[in-house]
Structure 1
């Protein structure tokens, strides 16, 4: 029989690597939007629609997972595996030569739906294995999500004349690898307590606790900013290069800016041990909110290195609090409800991202507002900070 200690040594790295592999599906469409626009003759507003369709699929998926309390009633490793396989298959749907904007959005929606069984379920698996040090475990796990999200941009940045289809094949293959690793090598955790019956009331009951509401609404404010920023990082870079006649490898710098959050997630996990989880989340949310407000100033700065540095700082701050909020959510609900709590909070949080992405899409396409568009993202950190300081 394996001891808990020996199990822990290899379980966390596998969960982290699998999360990275599977979440590479998330921005696979975003990274090749220009190629999709050219290949399928789409309009220039497709980026916002393609990104939002993934988010919408994730929202519907997390809602269904939460309503039926799936990750609290069934083996989360098996749920993760099934969703990874289906997500990889739907991602490959982008390769269908007769795609229209409608079919592309359907495939991205279904991919997002499957991600609902990957991202929050991956956190549930970690919570089942690590009762102590959960914050640090989730910081590594969400760092893997960040790297997976940024990875398609890295593939696209190589000057090897790679076809856009390579991004799709690579991300789907990674998702398959991640799914098989979880189901074969990660058993049910020692702290897992599966619910005996379907209990829809869990969705409402978790919000009755003030400390849970504080963590949840802090997370909602964080989400207003996060995916809108990630979605439009390439547009920010393009706008800067066009305004100041700078030559940039946009996919490469998009990867660097988004992937910088990998480092901050891990750092945030260590810093929270000294400052406390809540105080560290407040610090990160404050910095990212200031970046939103200062964005017009740095957008006008002609120095490209300074502008990139600003974006990297923003990219680090915007995600550093995510594992901290997930930890607070998991710690402030019953053990039998962790999966449902994480899933419903994700559902609401990602619903908010639809609004902020579409708002930013509208403001950016309105030329005289594009310079100030990102200031609207500060609304999320402001609201999040208000709720965090209530308890």
Structure 2
């Protein structure tokens, strides 16, 4: 990439990373919140799921109203980051175990719809035949941004409030910085959502199976990201380790954050050996990790961490490829509706699994809870194998299935 492009894309990626830390800022300090306020399983789940629900509402609203086309992208992004950062920092002045904090998390999620997709839109202005890599870069930023609050929890360990403050401050800085980023051209119009197309899209069998694969992936992804930290906190505490909170936060940062490299690798290889090949391989590995990880809480610590790191890489490596499949399989005028539909249903499915994990964990332990997550990638693998066998699969990745 030439210098101007390299700097602009790097700036957008860094700003994305800084702002997306808001997504899991409250989730990262759940062990402290549960200890200090006695927060139960339902309230703990809502700290993550409210953001997902907000993201669905924000994405669908933005697509229907065409906000991404009506508002200059840098200003849209900056305003969204400012509002999200404010909603996040207001957590410090409301009862943590009340409904208002969940509403603030919902607002944060709505604003994420003005950050993550709009960041993609801005990066796309610099695309010159390297869209796959750039999309992988932004998914990597989402992954690393989701991991950052766990690092904040170690860097500012005196009080969970400092973690919340740090996440908001970094988002405020990103909101200002993004206004000085140059775009590589005039952003293209965002595909609009048209409810009338839903039936036609769902009648497209190959496209439907690509969505099925994504749904299985989403059943696992956010539930794993949302609960792996608490699982590790318990595993380290059971070993009577000093500072289990520090070790669990550092481990969670590594496990989630390393997924950024998995995302980049997934995008790189999907363009070269095929999208179904990469998604099938990633889901087989992640489902295997989900089946065994919860049963390793008493295993040697190195084995536990290695399995979780492999899980962290594989659980996100395929994520961007499901959207790529939709783009390549859908009629051009249906792409916007197909992507919105895929994402909305996928995130709603994630809401269910996030809330089920603590319920199942209370009944069967972490093994049963994480094994339940393996159902998603197993079904997703079946869907992608079926897609691979269809004649239309030749449309994927320039003929590479």
C-alpha distance 14-279 of structure 1, shift in aligned 2 (>3 A) = same
SS at match of 1:28: coil
What residue is the counterpart of 1:226 in the other structure?
A: 221
Q: Aligned equivalents of 2:51 and 2:382: distance in 1? A: 29
Q: Aligned equivalents of 2:35 and 2:297: distance in 1? A: 28
Q: Return the offset for 1:314.
A: 0.5
C-alpha distance 39-376 of structure 1, shift in aligned 2 (>3 A) = closer
Show CA shifts across 1:328-364 (max 9, x none): 3334446666555444322221111111011111011
Q: Aligned equivalents of 1:233 and 1:386: distance in 2? A: 26
Q: Aligned equivalents of 1:222 and 1:33: distance in 2? A: 24
1:152-191 aligned within 5 A? 152-158=149-155, 161-187=157-183, 189-190=185-186
Alpha carbons 1:88, 1:176 under 8 Å: kept: yes
C-alpha distance 341-176 of structure 1, shift in aligned 2 (>3 A) = farther
Q: Aligned equivalents of 1:185 and 1:242: distance in 2? A: 45
TM-score between the two structures when normalised by the length of structure 2: 0.86
Q: Return the offset for 1:206.
A: 4.8
1:96 has 2:93 as partner: yes
Structure 2 residue corresponding to 1:110, chosen from 107, 110, 114: 107
1:324 has 2:321 as partner: yes
Q: Aligned equivalents of 2:207 and 2:176: distance in 1? A: 34
What residue is the counterpart of 1:290 in the other structure?
A: 288
Single out whichever of 280-289 and 77-86 deviates more from structure 2. 77-86
TM-score between the two structures when normalised by the length of structure 1: 0.88
Structure 1 residue corresponding to 2:382, chosen from 365, 382, 386: 386
Q: Return the offset for 1:217.
A: 2.2
1:217 has 2:177 as partner: no
SS at match of 2:258: helix
Show CA shifts across 1:129-148 (max 9, x none): 42622211111111111111
1:119 has 2:100 as partner: no
Gaps of 5+ in 1: none
Q: Return the offset for 1:31.
A: 1.4
Alpha carbons 1:21, 1:148 under 8 Å: kept: yes
Compare relative contact order (CA 8 Å, sep 6+) and give the higher one, 1 or 2: 1
What residue is the counterpart of 2:366 in the other structure?
A: 370
Q: Aligned equivalents of 1:207 and 1:72: distance in 2? A: 26
The number of aligned residues is 384
Q: Return the offset for 1:150.
A: 0.7
Structure 1 runs (4+) greater than 6 angstroms displaced: none
Q: Return the offset for 1:101.
A: 1.8
1:350 has 2:347 as partner: yes
C-alpha distance 46-298 of structure 1, shift in aligned 2 (>3 A) = same
1:215-254 aligned within 5 A? 215-247=210-242, 248=244, 249-254=247-252
Single out whichever of 197-206 and 131-140 deviates more from structure 2. 197-206
1:132 has 2:119 as partner: no
1:68-83 aligned within 5 A? 68-71=65-68, 74-83=71-80
Alpha carbons 2:41, 2:359 under 8 Å: kept: no
Alpha carbons 1:293, 1:374 under 8 Å: kept: yes
SS at match of 1:132: coil
Gaps of 5+ in 2: 388-401
1:54 has 2:51 as partner: yes
Show CA shifts across 1:290-341 (max 9, x none): 112233553452x011111110011111011112223333344466665554
What residue is the counterpart of 2:397 in the other structure?
A: none
Q: Aligned equivalents of 2:134 and 2:277: distance in 1? A: 18
Structure 2 residue corresponding to 1:360, chosen from 357, 361, 372: 357
Q: Aligned equivalents of 2:79 and 2:198: distance in 1? A: 24
RMSD: 2.8
